[in-house]
């Protein structure tokens, strides 16, 4: 099962970056996982890689998964399905969209069959009995969990560490389901420090989820990782003027695009912790750019409202 183009991972270069107000600091780097693939980018590539190989090994012809209407995961699974010859089914949280937003239109164009689940039913997405009922209905399907986070995702994300050819003290990533942080922690194998930044309000449960993902993968526990819960900006996909202003300034300085849902909050968190003295001046930090830029289109109206509101107050 060698059909996954692993040489694409070489595109994930490491570049020095500057943070607004800290341009003199030269020990902050970004790993450009977003450059791995134009559509299956960042941590989605890492998470899907071994899931696709397992689906192929089992002879499955369909990928079945879950996500919100603007989900990077839905977008990536649809793209991966078309590229690697799988049919795709997406169970979408919430009401049916008319017309489809840009994410769901892309998924549909790639051949994904969209099914909508009301929010109460969607809460069952990780329930074994619920999943088994779906797999009875879609007999040739391989189920990829929401966000792609399972042991195969941990294995893929652990490989991020092997691609790093510079010394560092901290490696940082955004956290939505915890799979990327779990994989990074496994890859570190007790060395260095990993710090996740929750993009969810009340994301404390992610710490247990990451522990479970690690233990399910290799049965180990590690004490060199943590999740910061302070930079969600009000919750998933919530934003404010301070965040958008920071992202715009970061992009101007570095010519690297961020998204306001994941990587923008990650970089702001690193910036603010530097300001507060959490990181020592000599410590070298690597931030993982996990992609997700496709979601920027869906955030345009929200960003414009935030900027307009700030302008009217000013």
Task: Tell me the per-residue pLDDT of 253-309, one tens digit each, with 9 for 90 and over.
Answer: 999 999 999 999 999 999 999 999 999 888 999 999 999 999 999 999 999 999 999
Fold for the domain defined by 43-148: Rossmann fold (3.40.50)
Averaged pLDDT for residues 204-222: 98
Residue 152 reports pLDDT greater than 70: yes
Residue 174 reports pLDDT greater than 70: yes
Q: What pLDDT score was predicted for residue 236?
A: 96
Domain-wise residue ranges, the chain:
6-39+150-313, 43-148
Number of residues written out for the chain: 314
Q: Are 184 and 173 in contact (CB under 8 A)?
A: yes
Q: What pLDDT score was predicted for residue 2?
A: 54
Residue 42 to residue 48: CA distance in whole angstroms: 10
Greater pLDDT, 5 or 22: 22
Q: What percent of the chain has pLDDT over 90?
A: 93
Q: What pLDDT score was predicted for residue 90?
A: 98
HEC per residue, 139-175: CCEEECCHHHCCHHHHHHHHHHHHCCCCCCCEEEEEE
Averaged pLDDT for residues 160-166: 96
Averaged pLDDT for residues 1-26: 87
Task: Kindly write down the DSSP assignment for every residue of 103-121, as one continuous string.
Answer: HHHHHHHTTPEEEEE-HHH
Q: What pLDDT score was predicted for residue 47?
A: 98
Averaged pLDDT for residues 43-51: 97
Q: What pLDDT score was predicted for residue 102?
A: 95
Is 43-148 the same fold as 6-39+150-313? Answer: yes
Beta bridge partner(s), residue 184: none
Q: What percent of the chain has pLDDT over 70?
A: 98
Averaged pLDDT for residues 225-240: 98
Task: Kindly write down the DSSP assignment for every residue of 67-98, as one continuous string.
Answer: E-TT-HHHHHHHHHHHHHT-EEEEEEESSPPS
Greater pLDDT, 281 or 147: 147
Indicate the CATH number of 6-39+150-313 among 1.20.210.10, 3.40.50.1100, 3.40.190.170, 3.40.50.300.
3.40.50.1100
Q: What pLDDT score was predicted for residue 1?
A: 45
CA angle 178, 159, 68 (to 5 degrees): 35
pLDDT tens for each residue of 100-143: 999 999 999 999 999 999 999 999 999 999 999 999 999 999 99
Query: How far does the chain reach from its first CA to its final CA, in angstroms?
Result: 58
* CA dihedral sign, ordered 45, 47, 49, 51: negative
DSSP-based three-state secondary structure for 185 = helix
């Amino acid at each position: 099962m060698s059909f996954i183009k692993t040489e694409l991972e070489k595109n994930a270069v490491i570049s020095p970056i500057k943070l607004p107000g800290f341009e003199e600091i030269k020990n902050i780097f970004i790993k450009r996982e977003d450059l791995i693939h134009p559509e299956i980018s960042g941590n989605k590539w890492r998470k899907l890689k071994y899931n696709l190989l397992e689906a192929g090994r089992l002879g499955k012809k369909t990928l079945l998964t879950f996500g919100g209407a603007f989900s990077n995961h839905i977008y990536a699974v649809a793209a991966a399905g078309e590229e690697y010859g799988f049919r795709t089914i997406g169970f979408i949280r919430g009401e049916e969209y008319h017309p489809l937003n840009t994410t769901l239109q892309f998924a549909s164009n790639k051949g994904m069959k969209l099914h909508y689940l009301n929010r109460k039913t969607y809460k069952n997405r990780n329930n074994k009995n619920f999943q088994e009922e779906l797999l009875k209905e879609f007999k040739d399907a391989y189920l990829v969990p929401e966000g792609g986070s399972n042991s195969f995702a941990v294995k893929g994300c652990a490989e991020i560490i092997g691609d790093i050819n510079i010394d560092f003290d901290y490696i940082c990533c955004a956290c939505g389901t915890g799979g990327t942080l779990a994989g990074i922690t496994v890859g570190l194998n007790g060395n260095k420090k990993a710090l996740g930044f929750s993009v969810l309000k009340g994301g404390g449960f992610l710490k247990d989820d990451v522990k479970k993902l690690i233990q399910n993968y290799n049965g180990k526990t590690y004490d060199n990782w943590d999740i910061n819960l302070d930079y969600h900006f009000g919750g998933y996909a919530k934003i404010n003027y301070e965040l958008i202003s920071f992202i715009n300034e970061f992009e101007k300085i570095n010519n690297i695009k961020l998204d306001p849902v994941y990587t923008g909050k990650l970089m702001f968190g690193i910036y603010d912790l530097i300001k507060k003295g959490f990181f020592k001046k000599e410590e070298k930090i690597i931030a993982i750019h996990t992609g997700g830029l496709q979601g920027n289109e869906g955030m345009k109206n929200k960003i414009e409202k935030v900027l307009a509101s700030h302008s009217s107050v000013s």
